[in-house]
Amino acid sequence: MEPLREQLLMTLSFLEPMSIEMIFIDLDKEFTLDNPDITMDVVLKELRALQVEKKLRQFKKDGQIFWIKPNKSKKNLWRRILNFISG
């Protein structure tokens, strides 16, 4: 289900971990209306597939599962600030 995969990647954040409930709330309204067959199981299956591809990271906090996009940047924040300032 390629459109769902694209929507999940657009919805998930690099900064804030999201639970399954948060993901459903943040999915595009038009997309969810056009695809009423999307269930929790379908979304979880797609999230697991994205994890296998290393496009998402999963972790548990207080017994709840969260997903976040991994930051691919190898430079630390300080190095990026210096590069930005030096132009």
pLDDT in tens, the chain (87 residues): 588 999 999 999 888 999 999 998 999 999 999 999 999 999 999 999 999 999 999 999 999 999 999 877 666 777 778 888 886
User: What pLDDT was estimated at residue 14?
Assistant: 87
Range of the domain at 31: 2-86
CATH number of domain containing 72:
1.10.10.10
d(CA 40, CA 24): 9
d(CA 67, CA 35): 22
d(CA 46, CA 84): 36
pTM surpassing 0.85? no
Structural domains counted in the chain: 1
